[in-house]
Amino acid sequence: MEMTPAEVEAVTQDVIEKYQKFVNPTQVALLKVGGFDHIEHKAEGVRITDLEGNIYIDCLGGYGVFSLGHRHPKVVEAVKKQLDLIPMASKTFLNKPLADLCAKLAEISPGGLQYSFISNSGAEAAEAALKIARMATGKTDFIATVGAYHGKTMGALAITGREVYRKPFEPMLPGGSFVPFDDAPAIEAAITDKTAAVILEPVQGEGGIIVPSPDYFPRVREICDKHHILLIADEVQTGLGRTGKMFAVNHWDVKPDMMTLAKSLGGGVMPIGATLATAEIWGKVFHENPFIHTSTFGGGELACAAALAALEVIYEEGLPAKAAENGAYFLHGLQAIAEKHPKILKEARGLGLMLGVEFTDSDIGKLVIGTMVHRGVVAAYTLNNPKVIRFEPPLVITREEIDTVLGVFEAGVLDAIELLGDLI
Ligand SMILES: Cc1ncc(COP(=O)(O)O)c(C=O)c1O
């Protein structure tokens, strides 16, 4: 039954008040300023509809969760079917969706990543990676990169390269050190006899959509081999087609020793994380005690069924190729706009459909995001670099929709230039 505008207004007010009293008052204030103080009501494909009936093209895509679009029918169907059988694992018997998912991940992942631990989020996937790397190597330390984002649990935070999230929670888990991204010699220089692993995002997401030079990953692989150090690829955001290949490391033909996945692995329907590693690493960690690392909810049938269906869809619909083709088109459009407006736009960059536009000032980016939501396009800035607006739409976005987004983005840029006048 449709709600009247007055009823919608009353419900929205009620939700805002509950956010203020019970969720997060500062967050709701920011949502208001940004023009996001609407209730998300339903979603399908690339579009989100709010309670008032406004429709938005989703160019944030849940920070990379909605690669398949919202509510992909095959994933929804798989989840509904599993729901009527056994949604959560008893943790005693064998679990077929879990076994099938781990086998599928071993088949598609690069370079002998035979075993997987299934969890519920990207941060949990990182936690497992850190623990497994420590136990497998007998060493304690990790090299990560400035601007890196691996999650906000205590372990993941210790390798996340932004002070603002780390400082209030110090002391951090010891052993994390940071080097500049895209600087292989800096990694080699930071290695000590305590270094267990180097952990890298193939393309830095929250750091501001930073694509490394083509020889970076191959060189890091060589360095890790030379010093007998593990290379962990955090493909939580880049994985499963986002950058135009199934895994971003495939661009450089690099085989990591471990990999983390989450976000789009659940097909945009279920939360799930995965930590993959070689048989050699696995043997050193789980052989003596198979319960050395566990999760009550991790690997539940519902989430694994969603992931299996998502992987099928990614192959059937050729989503990595779509991301490559449409990403190149989208990037070309963004670069053309950036070149026209150098006063406020520094650069457009990215790989596949993981795109970012860097503003000269973070406040201008926020202003443009606000104008875009009013015109029906959802975008957001990157968490570790607020000067960069990211575009990470579902990989099923069409050329027409990309054209609409480009028009809305440029209109926002023009609005900002007019508003700021002599200030820029
Ligand atoms: C590369 C990367 N790793 C890890 C995470 C953490 O994932 P989650 O928010 O599911 O804990 C994120 C989240 O944005 C991410 O982008």
CA distance 233 to 50: 36
Q: How far is the CA of 206 from the centre of ligand 1 (A)?
A: 9
Give the pLDDT of residue 386: 87
What tokens appear for 205 in the block?
Answer: 């997401």
DSSP per residue, 88-133: S--SSS--HHHHHHHHHHHHHSSS---EEEEESSHHHHHHHHHHHH
Same domain for 136 and 185: yes
Same domain for 211 and 182: yes
* Entry field: residues in the chain: 424
Same domain for 295 and 173: yes
From the CA of 201, give the closest atom in ligand 1.
Answer: 1
- For the beta sheet containing 385-391, the strands, ordered from the edge strand earlier in sequence to the opposite edge, are 345-351, 354-359, 385-391, 380-382
Give the pLDDT of residue 384: 84
CA distance 387 to 344: 10
Ligand 1 proximal residues by C-beta, below 6 Å: 63, 121-123, 126, 149-151, 201, 205-206, 234, 236-237, 262
Give the pLDDT of residue 135: 98
- 309-330 pLDDT tens trace: 999 999 999 999 999 999 999 9
Give the pLDDT of residue 84: 97
Per the domain annotation, does 13 fall within a domain?
Answer: no
CA distance 208 to 386: 8
Give the pLDDT of residue 34: 87
Q: How far is the CA of 235 from the centre of ligand 1 (A)?
A: 9
Same domain for 166 and 110: yes
- 10-51 pLDDT tens trace: 999 999 999 999 999 999 999 998 899 999 999 999 999 999
From the CA of 153, give the closest atom in ligand 1.
Answer: 11
CA distance 415 to 14: 32
The CATH number covering residue 278 comes to: 3.40.640.10
- 229-266 pLDDT tens trace: 999 999 999 999 999 999 999 999 999 999 999 999 99
Confidence of residue 408 (pLDDT cuts 50, 70, 90): very high
Same domain for 179 and 312: yes
Do 392 and 331 contact (CB within 8 A), yes or no? no
- 345-367 pLDDT tens trace: 999 999 999 999 999 998 899 89
Same domain for 225 and 140: yes
Provide the 10 A C-beta neighbour count for residue 352: 29
This prediction has a pTM of 0.97
Give the pLDDT of residue 124: 98
Give the pLDDT of residue 421: 84
Do 391 and 355 contact (CB within 8 A), yes or no? yes
Q: How far is the CA of 2 from the centre of ligand 1 (A)?
A: 37
Give whole-number Cα distances, 380 to 34, 85, 157, 407, 422, in Å: 10, 38, 22, 17, 26
What's the whole-number mean pLDDT along residues 286-311? 97
* Bridge partners of residue 380, in order along the sequence: 390
CB proximity list for 118: less than 8 A, separation 6 or greater: 98, 101, 102, 272, 273, 274, 295, 298, 299, 303, 304
The CATH number covering residue 59 comes to: 3.90.1150.10
- 79-93 pLDDT tens trace: 999 999 999 999 999
Q: What 3-state DSSP class applies to 338?
A: helix
Q: What 3-state DSSP class applies to 49?
A: strand
Same domain for 308 and 180: yes
Name which residue sits closest to atom 16 of ligand 1, judged by CA.
237
Sequence-ordered strand ranges (E) for 169-310: 176-179, 195-200, 230-234, 258-261, 273-277
Q: Which of 279, 294, 316 is the last residue in one of the domains?
A: 316
- 97-154 pLDDT tens trace: 999 999 999 999 998 999 999 999 999 999 999 999 999 999 999 999 999 999 999 9
Per the domain annotation, does 392 fall within a domain?
Answer: yes
Give the pLDDT of residue 1: 66
Structural domain span for residue 292: 73-316
Name which residue sits closest to atom 8 of ligand 1, judged by CA.
122
Domain count within the chain: 2
Q: Which of 277, 298, 316 is the last residue in one of the domains?
A: 316
Task: Tell me the best of 237, 242, 270, 383 to mutate to test the pocket of ligand 1, counting ligand atoms within 8 Å of each CB and taking the most.
Answer: 237
DSSP secondary structure letter of residue 341: -
Return the minimum-mean-pLDDT range out of 70-79, 98-107, 196-205, 415-424: 415-424
